[in-house]
């Protein structure tokens, strides 16, 4: 059973860079889309972006939400089965619970991390 464990700083000042990492335990890292989603307090879900690792080479293909694309980088460390999110120049509007997750090609987002509340103040 795949489990996702995420960590990172929970309190940032405006203009700093948000950095979160998610470890994938108990399953294959290749052949899946590794995704970041966020949820502002009391609000709905917003897809941030995802990275796909085909398992053939050590590169991954990324897709980002255009609304965040200029500030977002998603990367992966295949040797440790981890993937990371960096969001630069944060403001109070970036305050949210951030989730890492796994998406299948046909299925929806079937595995989620526990979530990390990031507050920008």
- Of the candidates 66, 79, 92, 121, which one interacts with another protein according to CB under 8 A? 66
Position 65 contacts another protein (CB under 8 A): yes
CA distance 108 to 33: 10
> Binding-site residue total for another protein (CB under 8 A)?
22
Select from 13-21, 22-30, 60-68, 83-91 the region that touches another protein (CB under 8 A): 60-68
CB contact at 8 A, 4 and 102: yes
- Of the candidates 8, 16, 19, 46, which one interacts with another protein according to CB under 8 A? 46
Which CB sits closer to another protein, 88 or 114? Answer: 114
- E strands of 9-108, at which residues? 11-12, 18-25, 32-39, 46-53, 60-64, 72-77, 82-87, 96-103
CA distance 61 to 75: 9
Residues in touch with another protein (CB under 8 A)? 44-47, 63-67, 99, 101, 103-104, 106-110, 112-115
């Amino acid at each position: 059973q795949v489990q996702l464990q995420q960590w990172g700083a929970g309190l940032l000042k405006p203009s700093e860079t948000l950095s979160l990492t998610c470890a994938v335990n108990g399953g294959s890292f290749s052949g899946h889309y590794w995704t970041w989603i966020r949820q502002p307090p009391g609000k709905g879900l917003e897809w941030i972006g995802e990275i796909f690792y085909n398992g053939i080479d050590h590169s991954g293909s990324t897709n980002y939400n255009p609304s965040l694309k200029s500030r977002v980088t998603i990367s992966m460390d295949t040797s440790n089965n981890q993937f990371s999110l960096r969001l630069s120049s944060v403001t109070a509007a970036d305050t949210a619970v951030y989730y890492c997750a796994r998406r299948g090609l046909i299925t929806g987002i079937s595995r989620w991390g526990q979530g990390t509340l990031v507050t920008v103040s």
